[in-house]
Amino acid sequence: MSREQRGPNEKLGAVLALAGISNAGLARRVNDLGAQRGLTLRYDKTSVARWVSKGMVPQGAAPHLIAAAIGQKLGRPVPLHEIGLADADPAPEVGLAFPRDVAQAVRSATELYRLDLAGRRAGSGGIWQSLAGSFAVTAYATPASRWLITPADSSVAREANTAEGSGAPLKVGHSDVGKLREAAEDARRWDSKYGGGDWRSSMVPECLRVEAAPLLLGSYSDEVGRALFGASAELTRLAGWMAFDTGQQEAAQRYYIQALRLARAAADVPLGGYVLASMSLQATYRGFGDEGVDLAQAALERNRGLATARTMSFFRLVEARAHARAGDAQAAGAALKAAEGWLERSREGDNDPSWLGFYGYDRFAADAAECYRDLKAPRQVRRFTEQALSKPTEEFVRSHGLRLVVSAVAELESGNLDAACEQGVRAVEVAGRISSARTMEYVRDLLHRLEPYGDEPRVAELRERARPLLVTPA
């Protein structure tokens, strides 16, 4: 459905020309983005011609998908007013702001919490289907720079009033904060074991909306407020990580930005570094290695002399991942060496944060293997994957599956087709037990690499085993 505008939409035509997108190309991109959000769209070049020459305004999510499609080609967010569609159904840029003021930061975070990853606003519909834009690494520039300049707010004490909610405002205490931390710990365990798409993991956005938001809008002292912001930041980062694991990149980005802002209010510099490291991993995973380096180094810079040795090791490891994706073998090797050195300096009695419980030598080896995979050094990949897989655990099932795929790729690049297929079969078995779009992307990448050997019985068997998992994206 469309509605008439006055005259041609010259703005849309000009931006399409700037981006070098044809009418048919835009229609295809919009349809594809819609399919990723569960929408069945059938736009064609004639539809786009009507939007441009006659000023027709498509209804529903389409204007925002048009902006997202053009933004992907230009490599930056494209607001609706730039393409002449500002009077389309509004979709606020929820979660992309990094306010300087604490009160505004609370409003920004709680507005995001009113949305959920299933694509519904509380009381309305279609939010992730209609939010303008998709993942744009440039959206991380302002949050990272503001956090580097001022990593802590001077005071976060708050006196709420009844106008901000229904009934008397909550008086927040340490017991309320403790419940949020318990929820974060439970969610971390479920996510590692079952993937970001598991139904238990999907309860995190609900917890943010129902539990965290009323607390943030309540009354609290500076001491309690710092703890509350820290617990909320942990949960918000987890929501972002789970969205990232399920392929909801735009949702993940918004959660990460708000998590970083909350960590600043908590005056928790290591936690802020952890959020930046998560942003870095997302940027690296999306192919923005240089930006991934910047984000990882931002995490490192503010944590010198503050974070524990194990925390610094993880930040250097994330930096190594980004250098490797950017193709800088020397920088990646130096960062890996530094990460290993910090890890060797860590001790059992160190005051490591609870959110770092996943990180040890096996995780270091697993990420080192991925670095060398990106640098096309299969012998090093094999060496580190053997270390990473030496202690299989039921606690980190998804990580085990990812390591098996990386091991299969290393075996294939070393000329060991049978071993590659054997590891691939094991990886597919793990993938079938969890809900992780990221794991399935790894499996798809392996199958793509195996295409030249498609006539081999072992390859055909692996492809057949993977087929049920590939019918519907995880």
pLDDT tops 80 at residue 125: no
- pLDDT-derived band of residue 155, with 50, 70 and 90 as boundaries? very high
Higher per-residue confidence, 290 vs 193? 290
Which tens digit of pLDDT belongs to each residue from 36-47? 655 678 899 999
Above pLDDT 90, what percent of the chain?
Answer: 58
C-alpha span between 409 and 375 (Å, rounded): 13
DSSP codes joined into one string, 202-259: THHHHHIIIIIHHHHTSBB-HHHHHHHHHHHHHHHHHHHHHHHHTT-HHHHHHHHHHH
Of 70 and 395, the one with more pLDDT: 70
pLDDT value at position 11? Answer: 92
pLDDT > 60? residue 243: yes
CA-to-CA dists, residue 38 to 80, 124, 414, 469, angstroms: 22, 17, 40, 18
Average pLDDT rounded to a whole number, residues 199-212:
79
Q: What is the mean pLDDT of residues 311-339?
A: 98
Maximum distance among all alpha carbons in the chain?
70
- For residue 469, the model assigns a pLDDT of 80
Q: How far is the first Cα of the chain from the last one, in angstroms, to the nearest whole number?
A: 30
The pLDDT tens digits for 395-412 are 778 888 888 999 999 899
Least confident of 2-11, 152-161, 180-189: 2-11
| Length of the chain as a residue count | 474
- What is the per-residue pLDDT for 158? 95
The contacts found for 107-111 with CB under 8 angstroms, 24 or more apart, are 108/258, 108/261, 109/213, 109/216, 109/232, 109/236, 109/258, 109/261, 109/262, 110/213, 110/216, 110/217
Q: What band does 128 get if pLDDT is binned at 50, 70 and 90? A: very low
- Of residues 371 and 135, the one with the higher pLDDT is 371
CA proximity to 77, closest of 55, 56, 106, 97: 97
What mean pLDDT is predicted for residues 90-113?
Answer: 86
**CA–CA gap between residue 279 and residue 290 (Å, rounded):** 13
Predicted confidence at residue 471, as pLDDT, reads 66
When pLDDT is cut at 50, 70 and 90, the band that residue 33 belongs to is confident
pLDDT given at position 191: 76
Average the pLDDT over each of 186-200, 264-278, 360-374 and give the range with the smallest value. 186-200
Q: How does pLDDT run across 341-396, given as a tens digit for each residue?
A: 999 999 988 999 999 999 999 999 999 999 999 999 999 999 999 888 877 666 77
Q: Are 266 and 233 in contact (CB under 8 A)?
A: yes
CA angle 99, 105, 108 (to 5 degrees): 95
pLDDT for 447:
93
Mean pLDDT of 404-425: 91
| Nearest C-alpha neighbor of 288 from the set 262, 317, 260, 321 | 321
For residues 443-469, give the mean pLDDT. Answer: 90
Helix runs in 134-220, H state only: 141-149, 174-194, 203-207, 213-216
Distance CA 198, CA 443 (A): 19
Distance from C-alpha of 47 to C-alpha of 57, rounded to nearest angstrom:
10
**Mean pLDDT of the 198-216 span:** 81
74 vs 168, residue with greater confidence: 74
- Backbone φ, ψ for residue 61 (5° rounding): -80, -15
pLDDT band with cut points at 50, 70 and 90 for residue 162: low
Q: Quick one: pLDDT band at residue 6, thresholds 50, 70, 90?
A: low
pTM to 2 decimal places? 0.78
pLDDT of residue 201: 52
pLDDT given at position 326: 96
Interval 424-450 mean pLDDT: 88
Distance CA 452, CA 412 (A): 11
Q: What contacts 266, CB < 8 A, 6 or more positions away?
A: 156, 226, 227, 228, 229, 230, 233
Gyration radius of the chain over CA positions = 23
Query: CA–CA distance from 436 to each of 79, 198, 246, 431 (Å)?
Result: 31, 8, 5, 8
- Which of 57, 107, 105 is CA-nearest to residue 81? 57
d(CA 434, CA 187): 15
- CB of 322 closer than 8 Å to CB of 300: no
Q: What are phi and psi of 115, to 5 degrees?
A: -105, 160
Whether residue 434 is predicted with pLDDT greater than 70 in this model: the reply is yes
Contact 208, 232 (CB under 8 A): yes
78/18 Cα distance (integer angstroms): 12
Contact 430, 401 (CB under 8 A): yes
Burial label, 392 (beta-carbon count in 10 A; 0-12, 13-18, 19+): middle
Cβ 302 vs Cβ 269: under 8 Å: yes
Average pLDDT, the chain: 86
